[in-house]
Structure 1
Amino acid sequence: MSFMRPLGNTGLTVSALGLGTVKIGRDKGVKYPNGFTIPDDRAVVELLAQARDLGINLIDTAPAYGHSEQRLGQLMSQRQEWIIVTKVGEEFDNDSGASHFDFSPEHVRRSVERSLTRLKTDYLDCVLVHSDGNDLAIIEQGTLDALNDLKKAGLIRATGMSTKTVEGGLATLQHADIAMVTYNLSHHDEVPVIEQAAADLKGILIKKAFASGHLDDNIADPVQESLNQILGTAGVSSIIAGTINPRHLQENVAKARQACQP
């Protein structure tokens, strides 16, 4: 498998490592082992330039990531060079630090229109439902149908859900283009979703590949081991890894490229 991979049958090609951007927009209520400071505009511009130089073309954001979408819209140059993934369903209040969810079709449309404005673009490459864990109930509400309608209207190129259950992941593959699932050295529960996606030529994005920073200290190089396992699994399109540390970004890409070697 090469570093650049098809995102299922969407026609989009993505880097095996994507840049997650929660840390450029939100520092409340996030589950990381160490604290961090939201980087200033110059640092974000440099991080985006570094990511592109390293061959990353996939960027992951969400309304629930605080000011992430607005900052990307302001600071991202060459929009056409990026595959942008954003979400609907989870809303985050920067003042209170609390999240709430709205999966209604009306909210989906409003959220997508707001993301287009914030990101200063006339299309979104991929929009995922940000599940609260009730994956099947969300699908039954028509949330993915609403996204698929916006895809037909030309506002979105691919649809899917960031799921939390195997049943939800499998159902998402029946109704949409992509599932985002958790997969790491200690969490293999959702592998059946990846296997189904490989069979159906659907896209798979991986979250929590490094267990949100909580990796096994008993392994010599847990990041390399994680990347080898995940990127060696048929059906995986890309891993979304959030970092604002330039050295970590460079190391992660080098290790991801090594994991993609035949």
Structure 2
Amino acid sequence: MGDNVLLTPEVIAGTDIKVSPIGLGTVKLGRDQGVKYPDSFTIPDTRAAQELLVLSRELGINLIDTAPAYGNSEERLGPLLQGQRNDWIICSKVGEEFNNQTGQSHFDFTPEHVRLSIERSLQRLQTDVIDIVLVHSDGNDLEIIQRYGILEQLEHLKKEGKIRAAGMSGKTVEGGIETLKRSDIAMVTHNLNYQEELAVIDFAATNNKGILVKKALASGHLSQQYENPLQASFDLIFGHPGVSSAIIGTINPDHLRANVAAAYNSLRKN
């Protein structure tokens, strides 16, 4: 990868937040149970995690994605990001809780828990504001939105200055579109193997809303029918003008460099 390969942040539609086209997913910094990757991995130690963050910034990545459901990811990131908070856009979640002892998740979408969760994330991340907070859906997107008033609660927290933008990491087209009607950003699954939430990205593009893509590389289960599945993945994602950024979870520096190079190549085509 040449020295000129450096990702440039762009504004998420409808917000004043500039993010790099690739975000660093941090599940593997804090959780190794109940994850759906094809290969086992070891959670990196503090030095390796710090080196990964340094490399990410050198490559132009400024978006970091975490969640209470990612084990102790938030607690680890707080100290790691000290002294460089202004270099990063932090995206975290509410709704899903993970117990490291049992290896099980449970969900709580009540307004009370949302507030508690964000206050706790602020403490763990050692920051005064979280840039993006998304609801971590259990799959019942519309019910969560309509029953709990959760997006409205996030709007309250926005007005209090605790978060800058809000939305949902959902699993349905209906939920994604409803999220964008009421909030700033939808996080959707979109990759070579699964494009069933494309209508949400289309809606965002025509309504000046933000889209973050999760599982962009199918959690490592990339289709091998393409000569270069990595490049084909990013060509698909960045071929759509509605996509702001793709969250890529890796702890392998070589994979990170390859991902950035492929994303850079795709963005040059568009």
TM-score (norm 2): 0.95
Are 1:185 and 2:199 counterparts?
no
Matched residue SS, 1:27: coil
Matched residue SS, 1:18: strand
Displacement of 1:175: 0.8
Taking only the aligned residue pairs, the percentage that are identical comes to 61
Are 1:101 and 2:124 counterparts?
no
Residues 19 and 63 of structure 2 are in contact (CA less than 8 Å); yes or no, is this contact kept in structure 1?
Answer: yes
1:59-138 alignment runs, 5 A limit: 59-77=64-82, 78-138=84-144
How many residue pairs get matched? 261
Residues 116 and 123 of structure 1 are in contact (CA less than 8 Å); yes or no, is this contact kept in structure 2?
Answer: yes
State the distance in 1 between where 2:49 and 2:245 align: 22
TM-score (norm 1): 0.98
Displacement of 1:3: 4.1
Runs of 4+ with >4 A deviation: none
State the distance in 2 between where 1:117 and 1:247 align: 32
Q: Deviations over 1:199-236 (max 9, x none)?
A: 11110000011111111122111010000110111110
Aligned to 2:213: 206
Q: Deviations over 1:60-118 (max 9, x none)?
A: 00000000000000111400110000000000000000000000000000000000000
Q: Deviations over 1:150-182 (max 9, x none)?
A: 001111000000010000000000111000000
Q: Which runs of 5+ in 1 are unaligned?
A: none
Aligned to 2:178: 171
State the distance in 2 between where 1:10 and 1:248 align: 30
Residues 3 and 260 of structure 1 are in contact (CA less than 8 Å); yes or no, is this contact kept in structure 2?
Answer: no
Aligned to 2:20: 15
Residues 177 and 200 of structure 2 are in contact (CA less than 8 Å); yes or no, is this contact kept in structure 1?
Answer: yes
Q: Which runs of 5+ in 2 are unaligned?
A: 1-6
Residues 9 and 62 of structure 2 are in contact (CA less than 8 Å); yes or no, is this contact kept in structure 1?
Answer: no
Displacement of 1:138: 0.7
Q: CA RMSD in A?
A: 0.9
- Choose from 239, 244, 261 the match for 1:237: 244
Aligned to 2:4: none
Matched residue SS, 2:268: coil
Residues 27 and 38 of structure 1 are in contact (CA less than 8 Å); yes or no, is this contact kept in structure 2?
Answer: yes
